[in-house]
Amino acid sequence: MSPCGRTDEATKTTTLDRTPKDTADDEESGRYTFLPGRPRWHGRTLLTYAVSTTATVEYIPLSTVRAVVRTAFARWADVIPMRFVEADRLYNDNDPDITLGFHPFTGGKCAGCGTSDGYDGAKTLAHSSRPMQGWIHVNTAWRWTVNLDVDMDPSAYDLESIVIHEIGHVLGLDHSTSLTSVMYKSFDYRTKKIKLNIYDVLGIQELYGATRYFSFKSYFKQELLRHNQRQEEEKRKRSFWRRGLAYILPSGIAS
């Protein structure tokens, strides 16, 4: 079990650990879970967000980070009746509901909020608040990338995948035991996981309801097609073996 700060009640933070894989994956329970106390952005249908213009990494242009964050929010907005709007477009005078920035976690302490993650070295990838606070701090110690095809760094982490995960926390989701969930508790380098799985959708919709015309059938169309194809394939294999046995049995096995 990888250590994870999501139960860090004192500071109300959740931490995405970088442990690549958890072998004792429990597929039976907790396919989606909520943060302790089941917090959510009650009564809200629009949340504003902002990407810090100062807490950045020099190797990714700010405009690119903003584009990635916009896409990440949009993936959640696809399934729940919540709009996410970049703050400076609408509310110049108000504080944004959610902020995102890159911060060093020197000596295990996040420079963005002063929270200690309990690790001496750089182990935390990112951490985030629960509703109705709204912040996401990404650890500058890691190499972040917005394009794994171009960035050949052997230990680069996909920024969009991590931001999607952290937004899930900010909206009230805790970790999932489903390996394909964007809320799975650990995350591999050089992998991209940006599509909400069935448990992500069920969990977030339990908190906020479904978008008006949401249909599981069309949202998971590709998955369903693949699933059906696999079943067809299985069926074909089974009938092949049945036919095969029919030939073998009468003469091959006498008694």
Residues marked as catalytic: 166
70 versus 109: smaller Cβ distance to Zn ion: 109
Q: Could you say whether residue 182 binds Zn ion (CB under 5 A)?
A: no
* Total of residues contacting Zn ion (CB under 5 A): 6
Among 5, 96, 112, 203, binds Zn ion (CB under 5 A): 112
Which range touches Zn ion (CB under 5 A), out of 20-28, 55-63, 85-93, 130-138?
A: 130-138
Q: Could you say whether residue 172 binds Zn ion (CB under 5 A)?
A: no
Which range touches Zn ion (CB under 5 A), out of 103-111, 189-197, 210-218, 242-250?
A: 103-111
Give the x/- contact pattern for Zn ion in 53-92, rule: CB under 5 A. ----------------------------------------
Q: Please give the structure tokens belonging to residue 174.
A: 């805790």
112 versus 134: smaller Cβ distance to Zn ion: 112
CB of 139 to Zn ion, least distance (A): 9
110 versus 196: smaller Cβ distance to Zn ion: 110
Sign of the CA dihedral running 13, 133, 209, 201: negative
Query: How many whole angstroms separate alpha carbon 137 and alpha carbon 224?
Result: 35
Instruction: Give the sheet arrangement for strand 46-51, strand by strand.
Output: 14-17, 124-128, 135-139, 98-103, 46-51, 83-86
* Residue among 181, 202, 183, 190 at smallest CA distance from 79: 202
Q: How far apart are the first and last CA of the chain?
A: 52
Residues that bind Zn ion (CB under 5 A): 14, 16, 110, 112-113, 137
